[in-house]
Amino acid sequence: MKLSKLRICVITGLSGSGKSTAIRSLEDLGFFCLDNLPLTLLQVFIELAEKSSERIKDVAIVIDIRAKDYFKGKENTFKELRDAGHKVEIIFLDSTDDVLVRRFSETRRKHPAVDNGTVLDGIKLEREYLAVLRQISTSVIDTSELNVHELKDLITRMVSGEDAPKVFNIHLLSFGFKYGVPLESDIVMDVRFLPNPYFVPELKHLTGMDNGVRDFLHKLPDTSEFLDRFLWFIEFLIPRYQSEGKSYLTISVGCTGGRHRSVYIIEVLRKFISEKRYSLKVTHRDMGKG
């Protein structure tokens, strides 16, 4: 009897990052879903699913800190499944520490990684335990700025099926280095070399969306030369990321506070990319801070 090969989607990541939302999204797509399955039992389950008369084709599994005693040293499990002909995707959900702490505070849950200690203690320990899974993941999603509906839509589009139209999704993201580099970045550009409008009194309280800041930066010779080179570089890179099989590309541009220079450059990039045939999303993460 010829055994059927499965599509196996592993959902993992930090507690509070949205794994429950992700697994429900896959359940809506018809995946057979299992939550908190120890890696030691994964091979057994796959063998049963292969032989099942129910014709299971798509499987989604949540593996996280709750199974910490079971996945150490089992990283080769996923390679063995791929070698056996199964299609294995590992989606790692992450978020910033402050967002995770806030989410735990809102739900009043105890962090599963620690019996005694703070939520931050649990997050630190969890990052250490899950470091290997993050390293071997096929996709990393930072859910810090996503609501439940946006995450569900993102997961749905990521795994919507091989017969779905292949749309290349580009996320343009401005940020401030003082608030940290976005975890989901594929390309990071530092534009702190440009003069900072923050130190111009009449521009300090504006943003890169305002005409005054745009005019100030646009007139700088360095801005013009940088944009010529940067836009050429991005145009060169995008099709090469596509050819490697990526569906999502996050281009992050950072300045000190994420309010002036990075916002302006992302808006120029938005106009440049919107003229091409890509699915485009723009986020100014830190524009309202400070």
- Provide the residue ranges of all domains of the chain, joining segments of one domain with +: 7-158, 169-284
Q: Where would I find the beta strands (DSSP E) of 22-118?
A: 32-35, 58-62, 87-94
Per-residue pLDDT of the chain (290 residues; tens, 9 = 90+): 455 688 999 999 998 899 999 999 899 888 999 888 877 788 888 888 887 767 788 899 998 887 665 556 666 788 888 888 889 999 999 999 888 888 888 776 778 777 777 888 888 888 888 888 888 888 899 998 888 878 888 888 888 754 444 567 899 999 999 999 998 899 999 999 999 999 999 999 999 999 999 999 999 999 999 999 999 999 999 988 887 766 778 999 999 999 999 999 999 999 999 888 788 899 999 999 87
Report which DSSP code applies to 260. Answer: S
Q: Which of 206, 221, 217, 204 is nearest to 266 (CA)?
A: 217
Please state, in angstroms and rounded to a whole number, the distance separating the CA atoms of residues 142 and 167: 20
Q: Using CA atoms, how far apart are residues 19 and 90, in angstroms rounded to an integer?
A: 12
CB count within 10 Å of CB 138 equals 14
Three-class SS of residue 276? Answer: coil
C-alpha distances out from residue 272 to 33, 76, 155, 171, 251, Å: 41, 43, 27, 13, 13
Spatial contact of 273 and 163, defined as CB atoms under 8 Å apart: no
**Of the candidates 34, 40, 38, the residue with the CA atom closest to the CA atom of residue 58:** 34
The top-level CATH class assigned to 7-158 is alpha beta
Q: What is the pLDDT of residue 167?
A: 62
Please report the pLDDT score of residue 158 as a whole number.
Answer: 83
**List of residues 6+ apart from 211 with CB closer than 8 A:** none
Write down the pLDDT at residue 218: 95
| C-beta neighbour count of 178 within 10 angstroms | 13
Residues facing 34 on adjacent strands: 61
Helix axis angle for 39-51 and 76-83, nearest 10°, is 20
Q: What is the pTM of this model?
A: 0.57
Does residue 175 contact residue 286 with C-beta atoms inside 8 Å?
yes
Token couple for 77: 């499990």
